């Protein structure tokens, strides 16, 4: 065991500015000891998500972050010491360890993960990303065969899985992503029917050409201009699954939101539903069975973007917010 616990501390909160490396600092602390009912965990892979940035803006489904604390985040971790009966040293768990080598947590809400290879799939397609895609599309979007599905941030961890599930359900799928290279990957490798490059300009015209008859289901990961463009392209009785708003998380708040929404929602009889993956915990086992079957059969291709080194976590999150990643981005701690 190492002699110290390296930690990435959120040194100061962004105040209307974009996230930068100097918002963080690397610190060291003593390795904590597990007490009664607690477990000592060694962090193996840290999950990087746009939500990490949203937590800096205020309370969401979790408490707001504050300056001086270890940066929050979920991770795949190994049990080093256990004072609970259901976990043993060597077991793998998913836990809110934060960005650090070691963490002590209560064992009550920790569960042993299955032995799978590669282990990283427990953080991507069989973790929060895959489950978010599954429930957001199937439970909130409710796609039907033959319908048109549009997904934003389509080359990211959630969007890339959403599009593939929609294809499995017999839908026509259009992905919105940044750059021609990502678009080619979506179409050529993942089987999307078309891709829209939001960085190329003329977003509304691109959308009209891609979905001339309109959108049945829109899976929103971005908010902002892409959300507004898709909103006005929806068919009557269309469904929008609101998963995230990454375009709104980093930097100054936009001057205004989409205009004309109330009347548009009424006249088109649209359904907009926000969700978080925990809403569907009682359906988790069935979802994982489907996802595992699709991966095993090759119907879902898994893309992971693994970066080495705890010290690189801030830069990796900043890169994710700038759209650098393809698939699920994570940090291999050691």
For position 101, what pLDDT does the model report? 98
> Residue 260, by phi and psi: left (phi above 0), alpha (psi -120 to 50) or beta?
left
Whether 106 and 210 share a structural domain: no
Residue 296 lies in a domain: no
> What per-residue confidence (pLDDT) applies to 260?
62
In-domain check, residue 215: yes
Q: What is the pLDDT of residue 94?
A: 97
Report yes or no on 283 lying in a domain: no
Q: How many residues does the chain have?
A: 334
Same domain membership, residue 117 and residue 152: no
158 contacts: CB under 8 Å, gap ≥ 6: 129, 132, 133, 136, 221, 243, 244
Considering the domain architecture, whether residues 143 and 254 belong to the same structural domain is answered as yes
3-state secondary structure of 312: helix
101 occurs within a structural domain: yes
- My answer on whether 105 and 242 are in the same domain is no
Q: Are 49 and 133 within one domain?
A: no
Residues 13 and 120 in one domain: yes
Domain membership of residue 290 (yes or no) is no
Report, as ranges of residue numbers, the positions in the chain whose pLDDT lies below 50: none
Number of domain units in the chain:
2
Residue 167, domain extent: 128-278
From 278, 296, 323, give the residue that closes a domain: 278
- 118 with 50, same domain: the answer is yes
In a domain, 233, yes or no: yes
Q: Are residues 95 and 170 in the same domain?
A: no
| Whether residue 145 sits in one domain with residue 43 | no
- pLDDT at residue 253 in the model: 58
- Rounded CA-CA distance 63/55 in Å is 8
Domain identity same for 310 and 267: no
Task: Give the tokens for residue 123.
Answer: 């953080």
Whether 107 is covered by a domain: the verdict is yes
Query: Which CATH number does the domain housing residue 202 bear?
Result: 3.40.50.720
Same domain, 106 and 214: no
Residues 119 and 212 in one domain: no
- CATH of residue 31: 3.90.180.10
CA distances from 124 to 28, 156, 177, 279, 303 (A): 29, 11, 19, 19, 8
- Would you say residue 284 lies in a domain? no
pTM flag (> 0.85): yes
């Amino acid at each position: 065991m190492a002699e110290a616990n390296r930690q990435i501390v959120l040194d100061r909160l962004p105040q209307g500015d974009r996230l930068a490396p100097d918002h963080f600092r690397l610190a060291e602390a003593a390795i904590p000891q597990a007490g009664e009912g607690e477990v000592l965990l060694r962090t193996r892979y840290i999950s990087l998500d746009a939500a990490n940035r949203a937590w800096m803006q205020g309370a969401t489904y979790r408490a707001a972050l504050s300056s001086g604390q270890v940066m929050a985040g979920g991770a795949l971790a190994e049990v080093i010491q256990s004072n609970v009966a259901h976990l043993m040293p060597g077991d793998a768990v998913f836990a809110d360890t934060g960005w650090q080598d070691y963490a002590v947590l209560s064992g009550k809400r920790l569960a042993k993960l299955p032995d799978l290879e590669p282990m990283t799939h427990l953080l991507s397609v069989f973790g929060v990303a895959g489950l978010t895609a599954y429930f957001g599309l199937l439970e909130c979007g409710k796609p039907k065969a033959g319908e048109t599905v549009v997904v934003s941030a389509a080359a990211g961890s959630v969007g890339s899985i959403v599009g593939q599930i929609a294809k499995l359900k017999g839908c026509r799928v259009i992905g919105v992503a940044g750059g021609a290279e990502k678009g080619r990957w979506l179409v050529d490798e993942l089987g999307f029917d078309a891709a829209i490059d939001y960085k190329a300009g003329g977003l509304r015209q691109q959308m009209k050409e891609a979905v001339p008859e309109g959108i049945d289901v829109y899976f929103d990961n971005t908010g902002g201009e892409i959300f507004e463009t898709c909103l006005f392209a929806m068919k009557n009785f269309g469904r929008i699954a609101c998963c995230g708003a990454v375009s709104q998380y980093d930097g100054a708040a936009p001057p205004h939101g989409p205009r004309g929404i109330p009347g548009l929602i009424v006249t088109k009889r649209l359904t907009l539903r926000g969700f978080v993956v925990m809403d569907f915990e009682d359906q988790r086992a069935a979802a994982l069975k489907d996802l595992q079957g699709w991966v095993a059969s090759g119907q879902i291709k898994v893309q992971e973007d693994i970066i080495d080194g705890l010290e690189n976590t801030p830069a990796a999150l900043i890169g994710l917010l700038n759209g650098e990643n393809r698939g699920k981005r994570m940090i291999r701690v050691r």
